[in-house]
Amino acid sequence: MPPAKNTTPPVTSERAEKPGNRPYHHGDLRSALLASAEHTLREKGAGSLSLRELARDTGVSHAAPGRHFKDKQALLDALALVGYDRMAQSLEAADDPALPLRPRLTALARAYLGFALDNAALLELMYARKHEPGASAQMAAAIDRTIGSLERAVAFAQQHGEIVDGTPEHLTLVVGSALHGLASFAANGTVPPDAAMDSVPELVHHLLDGLRPR
């Protein structure tokens, strides 16, 4: 009589190897880890993020996240890139080059502020990571994509004589600084979120017309 075959399947996936650990059922571990990391960031802050804790929360072995992120810094960079991609999608969806400058800029400002209010912790991480020494070319490209919507609106308006001459990058910085300042006030409670969103048209008015009486 031949010996019984071993029917135990080999471990070929990123399943946790500890007995009793939850099996991993996701089709994309990297995305699952990033989703879990964003939840932790939102609830507890960046200081609470660790690859080992993410592995436990996702139900995989403690070594599995290392196949996608070499360390915590790589995880933070990847999470920031997710944020920049999401912000870029929001801005690009809101942008309509066919609109006159004022409503076009208002729509972009609302999109930026909406993203900032919904993703305050993620936005803080995004800006922190872009200033890290040795930030990757991928990070720079992601930042350029988000700034691109505002810069295109500024450059287009200059070409049509709607705003003053000047370097589009510098004028975009002025616009972005005003928007980010309003978003920061809303995030820290200085301005209620609804009031911040309602004030966008006034902000755009002052950006375009200035504060001096005419």
pLDDT in tens, 26-81: 568 888 989 999 999 999 888 888 888 888 888 888 888 878 888 888 889 899 99
* pLDDT tens, position by position, 183-213: 999 988 999 999 999 999 999 999 999 877 7
From CA 128, how far away is CA 91, in angstroms rounded? 20
Residue 79 in tokens: 């999470």
From CA 103, how far away is CA 94, in angstroms rounded? 11
CA atoms within 13 A on the CB side of 66: 4
Question: How many contiguous H segments (helices) and E segments (strands) does the chain have?
Answer: 9, 0
pTM for the full model?
A: 0.79
CB atoms within 10 A of CB 169: 11
Domains plus CATH for the chain? 24-70 (1.10.10), 72-209 (1.10.357.10)
Asked whether 113 and 60 are in contact (CB, 8 A), the reply is: no
